Structure 1
Amino acid sequence: MADKPARKKVTINTLMAKKKRGEPITQLAAYDYRTAVVADRLGMDILCVSDTGGMILFGHQSTVSVSFDEVMMMSQAIDRGSKYGLRMVDMPYWSFHVSKEQAIENAGRFVHEANAEVMKCEGNRHHAANIEAIVNAGVPVQGHIGITPMRMPQLGGFIAQGKTAKRAKELIDDAKAMYDAGCFSLLCEVTTHEVAEYLAETLPIPVISLGAGNRADGVHIISSDLFHLWEEHVPKHSRIYTDLIPIMEDVITRYMKDVVERDYPGPAETIHMAPEELETFAREMKWERKLEEIKSGAKKAG
């Protein structure tokens, strides 16, 4: 059997070539080292450090409260765990919204301190100017439209976007503003299938679906959704490939039982002193119980 060819580093040109060939792009929201290591060696195209990780790892109930420093910590972990996938950072709430200067500064910090290669910025046409500033500063950006968790009050909650012709047209306008700002790619989160399909057909850049059907140029999913690690809510668009919660419950229950019954650690997991060293130690420490145990063992052996 021929050896599998060595994997090449994914770049924006790689993604553009995939779009041209009609080959789907895989994008995974990852935020811990081990997930990055496994996904990267399996061939994931894009590893996106999602602010959703702040909910899974740190217990935030919304991405809005996830801090810049928390996203930075996750971004550094992904950098350590990946070699080939394109490293993307989901810029957190209020990190690029205030001004062009703030947007450039914070994007630059992710590049400088976490070795990030591209950013992801969620919003609409009103955020395009600040996104354009990041791009002009030399940091590529994936635009993010549709359900944007930072704007839930405005959108009326986690409701699919683009179900009416009017709303679909607004999303198209947002997408075109992102493209005009220089975005190299676009993520459609829980828009209707038709919105993502139209954008994939009409925009020259890769369009990625997050709950927006399978006719875009690629698909994004949150890694914890694959394993049901956010029990509080399972989005309609997510597919649980393996439910790790029952497995975790079983393992932790068995561990607790073994500890209570003094079955763990057992002989296979325990290190002992050599007999002569133990006897010397017990004498020096005047550990009478252990000395009696040694004597008793010697009598039984004799």
Structure 2
Amino acid sequence: MSVNKEIKRITTETLRKMKVDGEKISMLTAYDYTMSLLADKANLDAILVGDSAANVMAGHETTLPITLDQMIYHAQCVVRGAKRSLVVVDLPFGTYQSDPQKALESAVRIMKESGAHAIKLEGGKEIEESIRRIVNAGIPVMGHLGLTPQSIYQFGSYKVRAKEDAEANKLLEDAKLLEELGCFSVVMEKIPAELAKKVTEAVSIPTIGIGAGNGCDGQVLVIHDMLGLNNEFKPKFVRKYLNLEDQMVQAIEQYVEDVKSSDFPNINEQY
């Protein structure tokens, strides 16, 4: 396949136009230069530098421990590899929830120090003022509703959200509020597909689903999950396109065996 040497950057306006045109939006997480480079080469529309780096890269049980400095570091790495994809960065827990001024300062730091193109934060009406300040500063904001992992201790589990009418109605109203506040998109995580489709039709901004059915304008997954790098994590909404965990373990085992037997390096692999 021929490659166009003139790479055109995906922007927030590109995503809006994709919704209007009925073109689905592809999004994956990435936390380092190599994964970002590969995702970008595959013509991925958007890369999320997720606070899930706390789980995937650092081995924490939740997303809560990751710091703003650490998110900026991961974002810097990803931006260096992304020539085409829109790069969105999570504001980590504790940097925006209670203090709108702190929220603005956190978002400004991410944009200035990483070179990313947008930020993402979790919640609706509860963080209205934080969103308003960030948007008014000219920083693109992606919302996040439904299962919000930073609130895991409040929820008590990672079960499906908004199954009851009251929570579903609040989610719909929050999505409309995010649109009014100027968010360019909203992620909806682990909610009923019917509700996600209803929200998608009710707002003009693109919706990105994760465990929210195919009625959304786009989809996002953790890249390590879809590549099969963690066989112990098996949620219903993840499709594994590869089984890299087994393949990589086998390759490393073979390397160990070859080193132990003096098969590696052979005569053609030395100077």
Fold match by TM threshold 0.5:
yes
Aligned position for 2:67: 67
1:148 paired with 2:158, answer: no
| Structure ranking higher on relative contact order (CA contacts 8 Å, 6+ apart) | 2
- Contact persistence 1:56–1:229 (CA under 8 A): no
CA distance in 2, matches of 1:55, 1:16: 31
- Aligned to 1:108, the other structure's residue is in SS state helix
Show the counterpart of 1:243. Answer: 243
Amino acid at match of 1:129: E
Residue aligned with 1:64, SS: coil
Contact 2:31/2:53 (8 A) holds in 1: yes
Partner residue, 2:88 = 88
| 8 Å CA contact retained: 1:54, 1:70 | no
- For each residue in 1:5-31, what CA deviation from the matched residue of structure 2 results, as whole angstroms up to 9, or x when unmatched? 844211111111111111101111111
Stretches of structure 2 that go unaligned for 5 or more consecutive residues are none
The DSSP-based 3-state class of the residue aligned with 1:143 is strand
Amino acid at match of 2:48: C
Q: What is the match of residue 213 of structure 1?
A: 213
Q: How far is the alpha carbon of 1:191 from its aligned partner? A: 1.0
- What is the match of residue 54 of structure 1? 54
Q: Which amino acid aligns with 2:151?
A: R
Partner residue in 1 for 2:18: 18
Structure 2 distance, partners of 1:231, 1:96, is 34
Partner amino acid for 1:174? D
For residue 124 of structure 1, report the CA deviation from its aligned partner.
Answer: 2.7
> 1:270: Cα distance to partner?
1.3
Structure 2 distance, partners of 1:58, 1:162, is: 30
CA RMSD in angstroms comes to 1.6
Of residues 211-220 and 147-156 in structure 1, the stretch that sits farther from structure 2 once superposed is 147-156
Q: How does 1:252-267 map to 2 (within 5 A)?
A: 252-267=252-267
Paired residue for 2:180?
A: 180
Partner-residue secondary structure (3-state), 1:239: coil
User: Could you give the per-residue CA deviations for residues 44-100 of structure 1, whole angstroms, max 9, x where no partner exists?
Assistant: 111110111222122122111122222111100111001111111011111112311
Distance 2:250 2:17 in 1: 45
> What amino acid does structure 2 have at the position aligned with 1:100?
P
Q: What secondary structure is seen at the aligned counterpart in 1 of 2:57?
A: helix
- Measured against aligned partners, the alpha-carbon deviations of 1:166-219 in whole angstroms (never above 9, x if no partner) come to 221121122222222221111100111112101111101111111100011111
Contact 1:91 1:120 in 2 (8 A): yes
1:143, 1:91 → 2: CA distance? 11
Tell me if structure 2 keeps the 8 A contact 1:30–1:223: yes
Superposition pairs of residues 255-294 of structure 1, within 5 angstroms: 255-271=255-271
Larger radius of gyration: 1
Alpha-carbon shift at residue 2 of structure 1 (Å): 7.5
SS of alignment partner, residue 240 of structure 2: coil
Q: Are the counterparts in 1 of residues 225 and 233 from structure 2 also a CA contact under 8 Å?
A: no
When normalised by structure 2's length, the TM-score is 0.95
User: Size of the alignment, in residue pairs?
Assistant: 271
Gaps of 5+ in 1: 272-302
* Structure 2 Cα separation of the partners of residues 3 and 146 of structure 1: 38
Alpha-carbon distance in 2 for matches of 1:170, 1:128: 14
Aligned identity (percent) is 35
Indicate the residue corresponding to 2:195 in structure 1. Answer: 195
